[in-house]
Amino acid sequence: MIRFYLETAVYIMCLVLSFYGMSAVNFEKMIKANHVWQAQLLYALLVMALAYLTGSFILSFIYS
């Protein structure tokens, strides 16, 4: 049960830090005009992928 809470806390922490880190990237220069919904979806997917990879990396150090 403790493992579940640890993993959840690590993934949530990485998600928040990923949102904070990705806010430094200016996506407005890379998206096409009138494609806001697609850009927001891409941003959310990139943040989730970064959070998952970072969380898995941290948890692999904890469990090794």
DSSP-derived secondary structure for the chain? -HHHHHHHHHHHHHHHHHHHHHTTS-GGGTSPTT-HHHHHHHHHHHHHHHHHHHHHHHHHHHH-
For residue 58, what pLDDT is reported? 97
Number of structural domains in the chain: 1
Tens of pLDDT, residue by residue, the chain (64 residues): 999 999 999 999 999 999 999 999 888 888 888 888 999 999 999 999 999 999 999 999 999 8
Q: pTM for the full model?
A: 0.87
For residue 29, what pLDDT is reported? 85
In tens, the pLDDT along 28-43 reads 888 888 888 999 999 9
For residue 19, what pLDDT is reported? 95
> Domain range for residue 36?
2-63
